[in-house]
Amino acid sequence: MRDPYFYDDCDVLKNKMGIKDSAVLDLAEVEFACNAIHELAYAPLTGDYDFEHYCKMHFYIFRDLYDWAGIPRTVSMEKEEAILGYMSIEYAQPEEIAKQAEYVLERMNRRTWGKMDTSEQAEFLSQDMADLWKVHCFREGNTRVTITFVCQFADDHGMPIDRKLFEENAVYTRNALVAASAFFQNADFRKMEYLVKIVRDSLERGRTSQRRL
């Protein structure tokens, strides 16, 4: 069965601009999404850091590109990952998306962040970030919305974080998320250390920048 998110005559996601060239759509995504993400750094999207808030952030970032922005996907997904020998992460099935995302977000909101040191915060933020990303709530844009959402959460919970580090190391960040999410029904290949490193570095740089103000 053909993925209903694609145009019938090409393997490009249906979009508001009618672009049918994947390279051109990628460029449009970078422009629109990056602008929205930069806006959110200065004007955070209010909410309770629940599933509704998460969906609203995806809508804000991708609203100019896709009609389904902010709406959880309705199809199963697989993506070949080079660092996993071209296997795919086992993403949530559509009917499990809300339940799994809500579980992670509730856990993230219950943590006593103020009682942790930077290393502990990095460990738990990385776990929550990876588990939320692994759900892969949307047909596209999961890495960008997850990083943006967790960074805003950190800032709002007394953990100033340097968002530019993720932006400047986008490929590393996504590969780190893949490595941290490589848990399968019959095997656990997770390696958290790469994600923890960039999250910890971002927290340390964020705190350094705050002290300079």
CATH number of 45-212: 1.10.3290.10
Q: Where are the domains of the chain?
A: 45-212
CB 120 within 8 A of CB 36: no
pLDDT, averaged per 10 consecutive residues of the chain (213 residues), comes to 93 97 96 96 97 98 98 96 93 98 98 97 98 98 98 97 96 97 87 98 90 60
CA gap 21, 7 in Å, rounded: 11
Per-residue confidence (pLDDT) for residue 213, from 0 to 100: 52
Per-residue confidence (pLDDT) for residue 56, from 0 to 100: 98
